[in-house]
Amino acid sequence: MKEEFISELIEPVEGTMGPVAMAKGEPALPGRFIWRGEEYVVAEVLETWKETGPDKGGGEAKYLRKHWFKIRTDSGVEMKIYFQRQPQSRAQSKQRWWLYSLSADE
């Protein structure tokens, strides 16, 4: 499989996120999402991890920046998606879910 860099917003389908993760203060991975006008169904979570970064104020503390998910869709495409905990600006407050890359058979 060849990995292709994408870095585009995805739109979670409302009502497809499980409440368990949200109860723990983590983002709930959407069960379905829209990318480039097409709906994708998450069939399997292959891996999860978290990304931290430095304090934006210059302190020594580390903050959780992103929740990453490597998934396989029902069509067999593998994707890396992430939830950005803090948007870049107030205008982008709803732009939290991103498709980072996808891998498909060549």
Count of domains in the chain?
Answer: 1
Question: Residue 82 has what pLDDT?
Answer: 96
Percent of the chain with pLDDT over 90: 56
Q: Give the residue among 101, 35, 105, 33 at the shortest CA–CA distance from 68.
A: 101
Residues 6+ apart with CB under 8 A from 90: none
Tens of pLDDT along 45-58? 999 999 988 777 77
pLDDT computed for residue 26 by the predictor? 74
Q: Which domain holds residue 79?
A: 2-104
Q: Are 66 and 48 in contact (CB under 8 A)?
A: no
The pLDDT of residue 16: 84
Q: pLDDT digit string (tens) for 70-81?
A: 999 999 999 999
Mean pLDDT of the residues in the chain: 85
| Residue 3 pLDDT level (bands cut at 50, 70, 90) | very high
